[in-house]
Copies of this chain bind each other. A is one copy, B any other.
Amino acid sequence: MNKKFLSKAKQLKPQLTQTLVEIDAKKTSLNEGDSAVFDFGNHYVGSLTVQLTSAGSPQDAPALIKFKFCEIAKELDEDTSTYNGWISKSWLQEELIHVDTLPCVLKLKRRYAFRYVKIQAVGLSSKFSIVINNLTAETVTSAPESIELCGSTERESKIDKIALRTLSECMQYEFEDGPKRDKRLWLGDLRLQALTNYFTFKHNDLVKRCLYLFAGTCGKDGELSQAVFTKPKVVGDDAYMFDYSLLFIPVLQEYYEATGDRQTAEELLPIALKQLTLANANFENNVIKDSDRLGWCFLDWNLALNKQCGAQGVYIYCAKYAVKLMSALGKDTTAIENDIALKTKGAIAHFYDKEKGVFVSGKDRQVSYAANIWMCLAGVLSAAENAKVLDKVKCAENAVGLVTPYAYHYYVQALIDCGKITEARKVINNYWGAMADDGADTFYEMFDPNNPDFSAYGAKAVNSYCHAWSCTPSYFLRKYLTEN
C-alpha cells in the first residue's frame, strides 16, 4: 500500500450528481401472484423508492414483495429461480421484502442498474391487495451533463448516444466496469473508459484518481492488480492478469498526452515500467510462455481462445507506449527499444505462420481474431502486412471469434491502424449497431452476434448490459470517423 498515492486518490474522489426520476404508477393494484413492470424509459443507476398502499380489508398479513431490476427488457422474463451460473447468484438484481404495515414508503437503498422494475406480490392474503402509487429512482453519476452527439449518419449518432450513456452510467466514484456487475475499477476496462473520456466528458481527474488507486494498491513486488476494491476500504484485488497489468502503461501515456500532467506521469512511470519488468519473467527466448491457468491473460471472454500469441502482442504494444511516454519525459529508451526488437523477432519466429499469412497461438497453433489483432496493434509487421493479416483471418476457417465489445474495440483500432477506415466503420455499425437494433440504451458486456444467448458465466441472467468497455464508438467516431 502506498499511502501517499492513496491519499491523492482520495482527494480526487468526485461528487456524484443525484437526479430524481419519477414514475406515476397510476395506482397499479396487485393481488397475490400478480406482477407489474415499470419502465423508466432509459438506463439508470441508483436506488428506488416505492409508495405503496393497500386496498380491500385491513392488511391481515405482511406483504411479501419481490423486486426485479432489469437493464434490458429481455431480462424481465428470465427465470432466475433455477440460476446455475458459475458466478454468484447474489449478483441477480432481485429483492424479496416483507412490508408489515401499509401504506408505506419503501426505500430500496442498494444501488441498482436498471431501466425496468418488475414488482410482484409474492405473498399477500386474499383479503387485501397492494397498490403501487409512485416509483422514484434516485440516480447517480459523476459524469458531467450532456455531450453533443457525433456521427455521420443517424445510425452512428444513435450508436454514439448509447455509447455515451454507457460511459456516463459507469462513471461513479471510480470508472466502474458496469453498474450492475462488478461495480468495480478494472484496469483493462479503465483503459477504454479513459480513452473515450478524453474525447467526451473530459473528467480527467477521475482517470487520475483511478491511476493512483491502482498505483497505491500494487502488490509487494510492484505488480498491479487486475482490479481495485474501494469498499469498505481501498484494497487491490489479489488476482493479476498479464495484459491488464501492462495496460497501465497506455493509460498513463494517454493521460499524460491528454492532460500534460507531467508530475503524475513522472511519479507513476516507475510503476508502469515495473509491469514490463515483471511481465518479462514470463518469457523464454523472447517468446511468452503459454499457461493453462484460467484467466492468466484476458484478451476476450471467448472461452475457446488461446492467449499466448495475444499476450505477446499486448507486451510489445505496451512497451511501445512506454517508449512514447519516456521519450516525452526525456528518458532514455534504449533498453526498452532493444527489448521490443527482440520480442518482435521472437513473435515473428514463433507465432507467424508464413504459409497461412496469419499469426497462430498455442501448441495447437490456433488461429484467432484476438491473437492477430494484438499482433497488428503491436506492429510486429508493417501496416500493409497487417492489413493482409486481418483479411486472411476473416477468410480463415474456424478462426476463433470475438465475443466482447472490449475485444471488438481492439479489432476496430487494428483496422484503423492499418488504414481500413471503411471496414472499421462497418464493424461499428454492424456490431454496436446490432445492439442498438436490439433496443439497447447502453452497450453490453458481452455480445456475440452469432449467439445472442452467450454468457461467459454459464447463465446470461448475470450478464451486464451496461458495460463501460463497450463505450468506445464515441471515441472512434470523434477521433477517426467524423469530419469536423
Contact = CB atoms under 8 A, between A and B. Distances in A.
A353 interface: no
Contacts of A239: 57
Interface residues of A, number: 35
A229 B110 CA distance: 32
A90 B96 CA distance: 10
Nearest to A109: B100
A300 to B, nearest CB: 21
B232 A103 contact: yes
State how many copies of this chain the complex holds.
2
Nearest to A61: B88
Pairs A-B, 5 closest by C-beta atoms? A90-B123, A64-B90, A61-B88, A62-B90, A89-B123
Nearest to A59: B229
A79 B90 CA distance: 21
Contacts of A60: 182, 184, 229, 237
Contacts of A205: none
21 contacts: A57-B238, A58-B229, A58-B237, A58-B238, A59-B229, A60-B237, A61-B87, A61-B88, A61-B91, A62-B91, A64-B88, A64-B89, A87-B125, A88-B123, A90-B98, A90-B122, A90-B123, A95-B96, A96-B96, A101-B231, A103-B232
Interface of A: 32, 57-64, 87-91, 95-96, 98, 100-103, 110, 122-125, 182, 184, 229, 231-232, 235, 237-239
A98 B91 CA distance: 9
A124 B90 contact: yes
A110 B98 contact: yes
Among A62, A91, A229, A238, residue most surrounded by chain B Cβ atoms (within 10 Å) = A62
Given A61-B87, A64-B89, A91-B123, 5 more contacts: A58-B238, A59-B229, A64-B88, A90-B122, A90-B123
A402 to B, nearest CB: 25
A217 to B, nearest CB: 10
A123 B84 CA distance: 11
A116 to B, nearest CB: 19
Among A63, A88, A102, A103, residue most surrounded by chain B Cβ atoms (within 10 Å) = A88
